[in-house]
Amino acid sequence: MAAVFPFRALRPTPERAAAVAAVPYDVVSTVEARDLAAGNPLSFLRVSRAEIQLPADTNPYSDAVYETALRNFEWLRREAPLVIEDDASLYFYRLRMGTHEQTGLAACYSMDEYERDVIKKHERTRKDKEDDRTRHMIELRAQTGPVFLTHQPSGTVDAVAARVTRGAPLFDFTAVDGVRHSLWRVPPGDVRPLVDAFAGIPFLYIADGHHRAASAQRARQQLREGTAAPARLEADGFLGVAFPSDQVQILPYHRVVKDLAGHTAGSFVDALRARVAVRPGGDAPAGPGHVSMYFDGQWSALTLAPASRGASPAEALDVARLHDQVLAPVLRIGDVRVDKRIDFVGGSRGPGALARLVDEGQAAVAFAMHPVGVGDLLAIADAGEIMPPKSTWFEPKLRDGLLSHII
């Protein structure tokens, strides 16, 4: 079963929602966050990335950053203002980007189920990033950004969502990137049907937000340690939005490599042709198993060799096969988590961005990938495997600051 819990959300007033809402803390650099928050004192980036208000050389993990985050959070609660609901509620959160639309249930999800793998993962987390968000939660005593979850479709959930979203939304605004964010509070009479419907869903899957979830687990442990903690803590649930898997959109995560690992242009192409099929092509891969490569001013189509017999679902992904067949043996790329010679371009930044990086000399070669399917992600999580790094880019993204969970 998948347990969902209503919660008393801390949220902006409707007229302030657009100003408060901010991109997730982990999709922008400090410089980008500072630019996005410029001129907007209500931006939640001043809480989630508080280093933007400190000197440029400030360590983002220093005490001053967390102290500033807490001070800004308290200021925002007073001045925005942020209000806390009188009663625990559930919410439907709709994202609309162009013609794509997806509607998920915002709620608290069970930390016990996270620990038992009823809520499945597909990504490793880094301790330094966990340390950061854990301390952020403890200092603020709040989870301020939701985990992006997905689940197998449920006709009951869809029916309730359709009924609730016919009403007037609590928030409805279009962000500067063109994504429309709409949020409805679920009426009390529809809460129990949703709780019961999720109880019939066997598993939830983390799509995006593994570090948030892992940090929420560690924050709960810290709040329980050394205290006479009550039988149930607010931290026993973590803030998430769960979308049906047939509504989730995954965009490709492209690869750019800074040099040819000592190859000349000719020897690189020769080494490439010895491993994969290469022919003239366009800037978009034809489908799974195909990669578009930009090199020496033109696009080529690569056809990857099939995965080896007995390969796991993760090893069969295009990003894994490209690494095994091209990046590692030809371009000498090692662990992509730490290798400084490779970079990644995700989301709506498409082939044009890749070509510019190469044409401007910031990269030697670029590879445009076909997106991973949602079914692939679920299969890998079901198998208990870990996806290769930088495999998926979920778009559109949820905004921080619209709903916070006080723990």
Return the number of other C-beta atoms located less than 10 Å from residue 246's C-beta. Answer: 11
pLDDT tens for the 407 residues of the chain, in order: 899 999 999 999 999 999 999 999 999 999 999 999 999 999 999 999 999 999 999 999 999 999 999 999 999 999 999 999 999 999 999 999 999 999 999 999 999 999 999 999 999 999 999 999 999 999 999 999 999 999 999 999 999 999 999 999 999 999 999 999 999 999 999 999 999 999 999 999 999 999 999 999 999 999 988 666 677 899 999 999 999 999 999 999 999 999 999 999 999 999 999 999 999 999 999 999 999 999 999 999 999 999 988 899 999 999 999 999 999 999 999 999 889 999 999 877 889 999 999 999 999 999 999 999 999 999 999 999 999 999 999 999 999 999 999 99
DSSP characters over 72-129: HHHHHHHHTTEEE-SS-B-EEEEEEETTEEEEEEEEEEEHHHHHTTSEE------HHH
pTM of full prediction above 0.95? no
* CA 138/CA 133 separation, integer angstroms: 9
Kindly state the DSSP code that residue 308 receives in the 8-state scheme.
P
Structure tokens at 154: 């449920």
Whether residue 243 contacts residue 2, with contact meaning beta carbons closer than 8 Å, is answered with no
Question: Which residues, in sequence order, are CB contacts of 319 under 8 Å at separation 6+?
Answer: 253, 255, 369, 372, 388, 390, 391
User: So what's the pLDDT on residue 226?
Assistant: 66
- Spans of all domains in the chain: 4-249+395-406, 253-370
Whether residue 330 contacts residue 271, with contact meaning beta carbons closer than 8 Å, is answered with yes
Structure tokens at 123: 């990504």
Please state which architecture CATH assigns to domain 253-370. Answer: 2-Layer Sandwich (3.30)
Whether residue 274 contacts residue 301, with contact meaning beta carbons closer than 8 Å, is answered with no
User: So what's the pLDDT on residue 228?
Assistant: 66
Phi first, then psi: give them for residue 190, nearest 5 degrees.
-100, -5
CB burial of 164-187 (b: ≥16 within 10 Å; e: otherwise) equals: beeeebbbebebeeebebbbbbbe
User: So what's the pLDDT on residue 229?
Assistant: 65
Angle between helices 210-224 and 127-140 (to 10 degrees): 60
Kindly state the DSSP code that residue 172 receives in the 8-state scheme.
E
**Distance between alpha carbon 172 and the CA centroid of its chain, in Å?**
22
User: So what's the pLDDT on residue 227?
Assistant: 67
